[in-house]
Amino acid sequence: MSDALAAPKNISPLIRAGRWAFLLAGIYYGHNKLQSLRIQDEPLRKAAIEKATREHHQQLLEKEANNKQGMIDLAKAAGVQVKN
């Protein structure tokens, strides 16, 4: 119990400076690593976006074709003559 209530010990200024230096060095390293990974990942990201866009466009075309066929079927069921 006496350790929890004891006054904090003074930490050497050299140790404090070292801690700050390592913290800043880690931030700098992390920033540089992130930038290099972004550069490496850019072609993959662009390819994934293009693929998703193509798939979405294809789904829209299929949906439009299904809707058009559904309207033709509905018109035939209602007895309306359909122009092709």
7 domain-assigned? no
**Mean pLDDT score, 4-27:** 90
- DSSP letter (8 states) at residue 8: P
Q: Copy the structure tokens of residue 59.
A: 């789904």
Confirm whether 37 is domain-assigned.
yes
Evaluate if residue 7 carries a pLDDT over 80.
no
Q: How many domains does the chain have?
A: 1
- If you average pLDDT over every residue of the chain, what do you get? 91
In a domain, 1, yes or no: no
42-64: average pLDDT: 96
Within a domain: 36:
yes
Q: Indicate whether this model's pTM tops 0.75.
A: no
Q: What is the DSSP letter of 79?
A: T
Predicted confidence (pLDDT) at residue 1 exceeds the cutoff of 70: no
Which pLDDT band, with edges at 50, 70 and 90, does 8 fall under? confident
Residue 2: inside a domain, yes or no? no
Q: Measured at the alpha carbon of residue 53, what is the angle toward residues 49 and 57, in degrees to the nearest 5?
A: 175
Give the whole-angstrom CA distance, residue 14 versus residue 21. 10
Assess if residue 5 is contained within a domain.
no
- In the block, tokens 């299904």 appear at 66
Indicate whether 64 belongs to any domain. Answer: yes
Segments forming the whole domain that contains residue 36: 12-78
- DSSP state letter for 28: H
- pLDDT score for 84: 63
Is position 58 within any domain? yes
Tokens matching residue 21:
């230096």
